[in-house]
Structure formats: C-alpha cells, structure tokens
Amino acid sequence: MSRVYNFSAGPSFLPESVLLRAREEFLDWHGTGMSALELSHRSEEFIGIAEQAESDLREVMSIPPNYKVLFLHGGGTGQFAAVPLNLLSENKSGAYIHTGYWSGMAIEEARQFGEIHVAASGKDSGFTLIPPRESWVIPFNAAYLHYTSNETVNGVEFHTVPDVGDVPLVCDLSSNILSRSVDVSRFAISYAGAQKNMGPAGVTVVIVRDDVIRHNPHGVPSILDYERQAASGSFVNTPPTYSWYFVGLVLDWVREQGGVDVIEQHNIRKSQKLYSAIDASPFYSNPVPTEFRSRMNIPFHLADPSLEKKFAADARAAGLTTLEGHRSIGGIRASLYNAMPEAGVDALIAFMAEFERKYG
Amino acid sequence: MSRVYNFSAGPSFLPESVLLRAREEFLDWHGTGMSALELSHRSEEFIGIAEQAESDLREVMSIPPNYKVLFLHGGGTGQFAAVPLNLLSENKSGAYIHTGYWSGMAIEEARQFGEIHVAASGKDSGFTLIPPRESWVIPFNAAYLHYTSNETVNGVEFHTVPDVGDVPLVCDLSSNILSRSVDVSRFAISYAGAQKNMGPAGVTVVIVRDDVIRHNPHGVPSILDYERQAASGSFVNTPPTYSWYFVGLVLDWVREQGGVDVIEQHNIRKSQKLYSAIDASPFYSNPVPTEFRSRMNIPFHLADPSLEKKFAADARAAGLTTLEGHRSIGGIRASLYNAMPEAGVDALIAFMAEFERKYG
C-alpha cells in the first residue's frame, strides 16, 4: 500500500525523504561496501557518523559547550533510574512535578533509589493542567527538580521552562525535543528517547551539564553512569549504532526544514488547526485548557464513546493509522510530531467531519 | 562499491539476503504503508513481529517452556549489571570464571553490586586457555557461576558447558549464540547482545529460567529487572523495535540455512581452514591451544608486528575489512560469524598467502 499518515505516539512517523535516503544507502554506506547496520562502532566510519550527529544536535539545539551529549541505551525509562542514581546522595531528595502518566512513571521508578517528593501534582484536575509555579513546594534538600515537558498520554505541555532558582532542573524532553525552541542552558539534565521526533526506538539522548557529572563510587550500572559514559563518548559498550546513525539523518532533515524555529511554527499551525476542529464540534472534545494543550499529542473523545473503536478502524482504512488513545485512558489520540505534514492534519480533519456527518 | 567481506567483531557482517529483504520492505512493511521503524510497539503488527521472533528463537535454540525469553535494551554490559542485581542477596556471592577481556568486564561491573569471587582465571596463561574444571573454586555461598562462552578479544571458546552441580549457571553467549548447538537447559540464565550472530546492535536477548526470576523489592532499574520485564513481555518501556524486528529476519535466515546444527558444521569448516593457514606458516601465529580455540574470533599476529597495520590496510583495499585486532592487544583479528560465507574465508586465506609472498 502507499504510505499512510501515521499518528502513532511513538515509535512514530518518519520523514519519507529520510527513509528514502536510508534505503538508498542500506547495503552500501558511502561507498564502503558495508551497511550502516554492520559498521564496527570503533571504525572511523561510525565514529564519523557519531560525531557528526552530536555536532548537528549541538547546532540545532544550541547546546552550550559545558554540556556533554550522550547517546545511550535504555530509553526514557532508563533515565528515570539514571537521574536519581547519579544525582541523589545521602540527605538529599529528588523533587518531581506530577503532570500525568509519564511523570508518574518517572516518580515510581525514582522511589526505588531514594527519597522522592512530589512538589506539585495535577492529579485533582485529572491531569488536564499544570499546577501554577507558585503552588510548588520544593524541599530544601532537593538534589534536583524533575518535570516532563510534554505528557504524551494526557496531552499536556509546558510552554515555558519553569524558574526553580538554584535547584538543578531535570527535564524529560522525550516527546517534544526538536519540536520547539528550548533553552537547554536552563537545564542541568535533559533527555529524550529518540522514537518520537528524532528517529527509531533504541537510542536516548542525554544532555548533561558538566558540573552535575560526578563520580559514583558504586551501585550505578555503567550503561547508566554519566561519568563513565561521558568519559568514553557513550562507548561504555557497543552503542545502538543504527539508531544513532538514523538520528543523524533526521537532524539533516531538521536543518533542511530551516531548523527548529521553522518547525515550531509548523507545529503551532498544525496543532491549532486540529484543536479548532475539535472545539468547533460538539461531537469531539478535548478536556485540556488552551494554555496547557500539547502541540504534539492531542487526545480527544467522541460524544458517543462507543463509536471510538469504529472511528480508529475507519480512519485506518482511510490511510490514517494508529489513532487509538493510550490504553490507560482510551479515546482517540493524534500525535503530530515533526514528521507529520500539514496535509496529514488536513486529511484527519476532513475524515473527522465526514465521520461526524455520518454518525453524529 | 560492491559488498565487501567484513570481519568486524561486532557490529558485524549480516547476510546479504537479509539486508535485501529489509530494504525491500523498508518503506512499507507487509502492505501497511509504514516502515518497521515506525510501527508502534503496541500495534498488532509489531506484537506479531515480536512474538514470531521469540517463537523462532525458541524453535532454533530448543528453549524449554520454563524459560522466559526477553528482548532488552542495554547490551551485554547491561546484563553484567542485571545478573548480580537480580540474583545476589545478603550473604550470597557471585562466582566468575575469568577467561579474558569480556569476562573481566563482567567481573568489574558485578563488583559494584555485591561480593564477587573469581573461581578460576586464565590470567597466568595470558588468557590463552580455559582453566580445567577441577581447578575451579566455587564458594559455598555462590548465588550463581558466570562464564563467557566465547572471548572475542582473546579468541578462546568453551566447547562444552561446564558441570557446576546445583549452582545456577549464567552464560554470556553474546559472541557465539546461534553459531553452535548449545543445551540452554543447562543454564539458569544465558544472554547475548544481538550484534554478532543475531542482528544489529541495540537489542539483547536474555533467556532466563522461571525459578530464578524473583521479586526485587528495590534498587534495580526496571529496564534491567527480570521480573518486571518478564511480566510485561519485555515491554517495561518502548523496546528497541527495529533491532528486534531485524533479529526476526536473521532467525528466518538461520532456518533457511538448515538450522543451528548445519551452521555449526559450516563454522567448524571455516575456522579450521583459517587456523590451518595460520599454523602452516611461520609468518602468522595464534597463541591459543587447539582445544580452546574460538570458531568465531581468530586473533593472530604477524612475525613482524610492524607489518600489521599495512596488512589490515591492504586487506581493506582488497575488500576484506575490519581486520584490526582489539585495541587492548593489537594484531589482527578475523571474526567468522554465521554470516561470513566460506568464500570470504577463502579470500582472506588467499590474501594472507599473497601478503606473505610479498613481505615474508
């Protein structure tokens, strides 16, 4: 079948031009007679690929020189453990903002490794809003404050970086990295699994400020140890080479689009179009107040929930795939990551109007 | 350039037919209009891929039903941590056989998490042999005994599974899995990074017997926790989907070859050919006694070590790549994993004869 519009929350839609380029060089990377899948991570070819990807990421995200950029195994969930393992010490606690499913998972994982405080929670709102900064209670012994800049399940996004004074700020950027301009220098650590806006599953980018990298005397698996990964250039063991290579291809594409600022304007327009279509109809609804709405993941319900299964199935038949909501809350979810063209959003909106006409 | 013979120790040579198939369906997996790179891990398509790969691995390795098969992030080095984290408890120690570079790394990693005993070491031999079983000293409180069935750097391989009585046996199969018939039911745990005989870097297969999976009350990152990974079908978080998919393609290829027994016969013939060529000439030498020689990784030296750099460079120009020895010991290393055809070994042997004629 011809290519569809894939609204998956991750692994997700990739730019077709990137897939075509990867396919073109699939058996013979740059005249070496080897696939990028087959390159030794110690070869000069792969080291070139790896360094270029890092340097491109530094450029498109304006990452300051006093930050290390790591390409690691383990996904965001690996970092849910790595952050407390690397940053907590005796008499210190980790502070968390609980804004939905994924920040909740980060909290649960961290509790295994030390004292954790929930400094603010959106639970009372059903995780439809971000608690105002002035309500946050950050404990005096906080080693860091962690937040999730975009909640893929709940469709809630931080549109500014919160001010937490001198407390090292840790940000899970998994689902909106490269989708908007963000001042990385505000973070001690930011990290992102690649499988939304950067490439395939299997590689996780960690951007960590030099001063929070410390020696862990024991108890940290070396694949999650910032000091050892930084010292070895993410080569503590064989890195996920093909995913790393693919991130490099996506970064080339980001630059071809005009960079993150241009992509951000597209993302604003795409998401506004879809929210407008939802808000204009009593048949569809999204519970998140405008100022907290995610540009990346737009969950919505049908007035008659019994039609939601049919909605997703009919959409799929029309070439609009993976619109099922997260299993924890059901409904419909459209993820509009960078690779989703405006034409895909238009096609979804047209399908929604037609579906409403038939069944509304 | 046309495809080369790639002797890399990993990531490594892949069967050309597998690469061609992956390229063929790169933009459209089985008529879905989506790349395998883009499939949601929760989609029925990816779940089908994942379950088929597991079932194929169970079949080709004859894995008994009382074992879980996990597909995890983190590589073999992740498992170096996972094994003690999951198996050690108070008053228990981990026992290790030290036969070279990689078992040494496993020991170093494990020391972070508990009391570790080296039950036997090949150090005095320069890691050219496996200490005889009767010399092993396994402590009475051993929670497990860990060994590395093939040392990729030193070129030493276990050709039988050691008998350690009731002590749970843990085996790192990273570099010889699927290369020979092995009775998995002898192990409590065996594991392997995929990037030698199974596929690309980024996914690690762990085969773990039900009775050693236990509840870890705290302190184990969930990506490395056997109980949680087993309970979720390796879906604690987004798994490395493309690497998992690719392992499935390689397993199809293994079956097309006639299975592991047939491949083992090829591997015996390929390695014997190369060892014979080395032994027949005073110009080349390998220090490992015959009974401990690896079929997978054959390190050798030239009588004049100053020629080794030229050897690897000239070989590369002749389409025989990545023959440089491991950085820790130098020299030359030819890795003859499953995907290396006998014609590749013949080409290497012819090149060696020609190089010796010119410079010997």
- Tell me if A10 is assigned to some domain: no
- Tell me if B130 is assigned to some domain: yes
Last residue of a domain, one of B256, B278, B308: B256
- Tell me if B12 is assigned to some domain: no
Contact with chain A for residue B11, Cβ under 8 A: yes
Nearest residue, CB atoms, B40 vs list A8, A40, A219: A8
Q: Structural domain of residue B70, as residue ranges?
A: 17-256
Beta bridge partners of A71: A205
Last residue of a domain, one of A206, A233, A256: A256
Which of A34, A236, A249, A327 is the best mutation test for B, with the most CBs of B within 10 A? A34
CA distance A245 to chain B (A): 12
- Is the domain of B263 the same as that of B134? no
- Is the domain of A95 the same as that of A189? yes
Contact with chain A for residue B248, Cβ under 8 A: no
Give me the amino acid identity at A189. I
Contact with chain B for residue A39, Cβ under 8 A: yes
A243 vs B contacts (CB less than 8 Å): 202, 240, 242-243
CA distance B283 to chain A (A): 26
Question: Which of the residues of B are catalytic?
Answer: 102, 172, 196
CA–chain centroid gap for A280, Å, is 29
On the CB side of A170, CA atoms within 13 Å amount to 27
- Is the domain of A221 the same as that of A270? no
- Is the domain of A125 the same as that of A230? yes
DSSP letter assigned to residue A109: H
Nearest residue, CB atoms, A201 vs list B4, B85, B241: B241
A41 vs B contacts (CB less than 8 Å): 11, 201
Nearest residue, CB atoms, B242 vs list A40, A74, A202: A202
Task: Check the CA dihedral A124-B238-A208-A150 and report its sign.
Answer: negative
- Is the domain of A178 the same as that of A293? no
- Is the domain of B241 the same as that of B133? yes
Contact with chain B for residue A196, Cβ under 8 A: no
- Tell me if A176 is assigned to some domain: yes
Counted domains in chain A: 2
d(CA B130, CA B125): 9
**Cβ–Cβ below 8 Å for A74 and B3:** no
Which of B242, B327, B337 is the best mutation test for A, with the most CBs of A within 10 A? B242
Helix/strand/coil (H, E, C) string of A254-319? Answer: HHHCCCHHHHHHHHHHHHHHHHHHHHCCCCEECCCCHHHECCCEEEEEECCHHHHHHHHHHHHHCC
Residue B2: per-residue pLDDT: 86
CB B252 within 8 A of CB B178: no
Give whole-number Cα distances, B253 to A33, B199, B258, B260, B299, in Å: 21, 11, 9, 11, 27
Nearest residue, CB atoms, A26 vs list B9, B26, B236: B26
Burial of B251 (0-12, 13-18, 19+ CB in 10 A): buried
**What phi, psi does B110 have (nearest 5°)?**
-65, -30
**Cβ–Cβ below 8 Å for B28 and A3:** yes
Q: Which two tokens stand for residue B7?
A: 């002797």
Q: Which two tokens stand for residue B192?
A: 């392997």
- Is the domain of B128 the same as that of B205? yes
- Is the domain of A104 the same as that of A234? yes
- A–B interface: beta-carbon pairs under 8 A: 224
Contact with chain B for residue A317, Cβ under 8 A: no
**Cβ–Cβ below 8 Å for B37 and A14:** yes
Residues 60-89 of A with CB under 8 A from B: 73-78, 80-82, 85
d(CA A1, CA B34): 9
Write out pLDDT tens, residues A84-95. Answer: 999 999 899 999
Give whole-number Cα distances, A165 to A134, A142, A144, A172, in Å: 13, 12, 11, 19
Place of tokens 């040494």: B104
**Cβ–Cβ below 8 Å for B81 and A222:** yes
- Tell me if B8 is assigned to some domain: no
- Tell me if A9 is assigned to some domain: no
Residue B355: per-residue pLDDT: 98
Residue B219: per-residue pLDDT: 87
CA distance B139 to chain A (A): 23
Rg (CA), chain B: 21
Beta-carbon contacts of B165 under 8 Å, excluding residues fewer than 6 positions away, are none
d(CA B223, CA B82): 9
Residues 105-134 of B with CB under 8 A from A: 109, 112-113
Write out pLDDT tens, residues B283-335. Answer: 999 999 999 999 999 999 999 999 999 999 999 999 999 999 998 889 999 99
- Is the domain of B175 the same as that of B90? yes
- E strand segments, A90-232: 93-98, 115-121, 142-148, 150-151, 156-157, 169-172, 189-193, 204-209
Q: What is the mean pLDDT of residues B14-34?
A: 97
- Tell me if A12 is assigned to some domain: no
Tell me: is residue B172 an annotated ligand-binding position. Answer: yes
Tell me: is residue A128 an annotated ligand-binding position. Answer: no
A31 vs B contacts (CB less than 8 Å): 1
Contact with chain B for residue A338, Cβ under 8 A: no
Domain CATH for A328: 3.90.1150.10
Q: Inform me whether the pLDDT recorded for B218 exceeds 80.
A: no
- Tell me if A5 is assigned to some domain: no
Nearest residue, CB atoms, B74 vs list A39, A219, A223: A223
Residue B353: per-residue pLDDT: 98
Q: What is the mean pLDDT of residues B333-349?
A: 98
Beta-carbon contacts of B280 under 8 Å, excluding residues fewer than 6 positions away, are none
**Cβ–Cβ below 8 Å for B202 and A243:** yes
- Is the domain of A146 the same as that of A277? no
- Is the domain of A94 the same as that of A184? yes
Question: Which of the residues of A are catalytic?
Answer: 102, 172, 196
Domain CATH for B220: 3.40.640.10
Average pLDDT over all residues of chain B: 97
Q: Quote the ipTM score.
A: 0.97
Residue B130: per-residue pLDDT: 98
Last residue of a domain, one of A256, A282, A315: A256
Q: Name the residue among B77, B318, B81 with its Cα closest to residue A240.
A: B77
Write out pLDDT tens, residues B153-204. Answer: 999 999 999 999 999 999 999 999 999 999 999 999 999 999 999 999 999 9
Tell me: is residue A56 an annotated ligand-binding position. Answer: no
- Angle (deg, nearest 10), helices B241-256 and A241-256: 130
Q: Name the residue among B246, B245, B195, B205 with its Cα closest to residue B226.
A: B205
- Is the domain of A240 the same as that of A351? no
Give me the amino acid identity at B262. V
* Segments of chain A scoring below 70 in pLDDT: 1
Residue A218: per-residue pLDDT: 74
| Band of residue B1 on the pLDDT scale cut at 50, 70, 90 | low
